């Protein structure tokens, strides 16, 4: 089996972060979303991976490289424009050849991995195997109609009147039969080759398409709130590790990771929490549910339930919560009689009235 990971989306709902980095590289629990995907791929025994990339290909290559750091062999496939998930399959047809494969959306977090579905696909061959999860409002998703035996009978994209609450999530297992289906379909009204149309083609011609309900934690990380939610869930799985330095005055409560080269002085750390390599935390209260990136400086600061990217400086500001702070940003106190903001496009700011 091979793998196809899709990492070419624009990430408009995550601006301003995605002006300067692909959404798949935004970190949760101090690890890029795409790396979480790669680790799930490696865990099912797949070695050969193709990554579909768009105009941020260089940034993704800089993190993933040739894949050897993750025990994988990675090939990059450029996509000039986002023309649909099925179009990505057509781009990868030569790479995939006659092999079965798993297609994985590179902005999806599946915290419990995909090993159960991979085993089921290998043990019980079908033209396709989908992962589904129950959602509160199926109208916002592709929805599967499944019989009592788990066989997919129909797929409907964002139905006005859903006949099921089972949404299709971002992992699909396919045999080479899907290539004929992709060649047979036409672009949708929005000009894209839809993977749901290709799967429906398989269903209509009588191929066996089955589905598993994914009972673990799943999130399509399309918004800041999604990222913070993922961060909390993944931090709850932390194994404590003190690899950096901490003085005898500082205190630790709960599971905390302090990475290599980080320094903690006169501070209170409340887990779950990660302090990135090379960061300095001084006279501060940090956590819970916070991922502090690499080479950050916290001085007389307080932050919880937040994601802080690499190189950030926070000085003299406390009671920060529910925040996403981009790379190399600086947060400092200003004139107490006024409020000053220097913020870019699509930024959100919340200040006391």
- What would the DSSP string read from start to end of 273-311? EEE-TT-EEES-EE-SSEEE-TT-EEES-EEESEEE-TT
Q: Is 251 left (phi over 0), alpha (psi -120 to 50) or beta?
A: beta
Please determine, for residue 22, whether its predicted confidence score (pLDDT) is greater than 90.
no
Distance of CA 269 to the CA centre of its chain: 26
Compute the average pLDDT of residues 216-228. 89
pLDDT of 344 reads: 62
Please determine, for residue 21, whether its predicted confidence score (pLDDT) is greater than 80.
no
Please determine, for residue 10, whether its predicted confidence score (pLDDT) is greater than 70.
no
* Torsion angles phi and psi, residue 221, rounded to 5: -80, 70
pLDDT of 75 reads: 97
For residue range 115-131, what is the model confidence (pLDDT) as tens digits?
Answer: 999 999 999 889 999 99
Write out the DSSP string of 165-188: SEEEEEEEEE-THHHHHHHH----
Q: Regarding predicted confidence, which is higher, 187 or 254?
A: 254
For residue range 66-82, what is the model confidence (pLDDT) as tens digits?
Answer: 999 999 999 999 998 88
Element (H, E) at 219: strand 218-220
pLDDT of 44 reads: 97
Q: Which of 166-170, 176-180, 286-290 has the lowest mean pLDDT?
A: 166-170
Determine the angle formed by the axes of helices 57-64 and 33-43, rounding to 10 degrees.
50
pLDDT of 346 reads: 65
Number of residues written out for the chain? 353
């Amino acid at each position: 089996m091979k793998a196809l990971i899709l990492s070419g989306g624009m990430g408009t709902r995550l601006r301003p972060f995605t002006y300067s980095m692909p959404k798949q590289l935004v970190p949760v629990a101090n690890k890029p979303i795409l790396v979480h995907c790669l680790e799930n791929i490696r865990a099912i025994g797949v070695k050969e991976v193709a990554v579909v990339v768009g105009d941020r290909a260089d940034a993704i290559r800089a993190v993933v490289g040739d894949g050897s750091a993750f025990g994988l062999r990675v090939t990059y496939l450029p996509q000039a424009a986002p023309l649909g998930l099925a179009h990505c399959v057509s781009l990868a047809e030569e790479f995939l050849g006659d092999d079965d494969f798993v297609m994985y959306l590179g902005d999806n977090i599946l915290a419990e991995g995909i090993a159960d579905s991979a085993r089921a696909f290998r043990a019980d061959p079908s033209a396709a195997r989908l992962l589904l999860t129950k959602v509160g409002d199926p109208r916002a998703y592709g929805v599967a109609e499944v019989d009592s035996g788990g066989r997919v009978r129909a797929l409907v994209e964002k139905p006005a009147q859903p006949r099921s609450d089972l949404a299709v999530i971002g992992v699909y297992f396919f045999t080479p039969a899907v290539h004929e289906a992709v060649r047979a379909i036409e672009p949708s009204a929005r000009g894209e080759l839809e993977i749901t149309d290709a799967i429906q083609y398989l269903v209509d011609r009588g191929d066996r398409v089955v589905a598993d309900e994914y009972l673990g934690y799943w999130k399509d990380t399309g918004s800041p709130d999604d990222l913070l939610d993922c961060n909390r869930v993944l931090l709850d799985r932390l194994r404590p590790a003190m690899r950096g330095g901490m003085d005898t005055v500082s205190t630790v409560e709960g599971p905390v990771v302090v990475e290599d080269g980080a320094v903690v002085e006169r501070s209170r750390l409340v887990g779950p929490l990660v302090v990135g390599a090379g960061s300095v935390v001084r006279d501060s209260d940090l956590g819970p549910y916070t991922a502090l990136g690499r080479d950050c400086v916290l001085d007389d600061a307080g932050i919880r339930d937040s994601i802080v990217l690499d190189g950030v400086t926070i000085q003299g500001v406390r009671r920060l919560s529910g925040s996403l702070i981009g790379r190399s940003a600086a947060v400092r106190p200003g004139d107490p009689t006024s409020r000053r903001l220097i913020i870019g496009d699509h930024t959100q700011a919340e200040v006391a009235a």
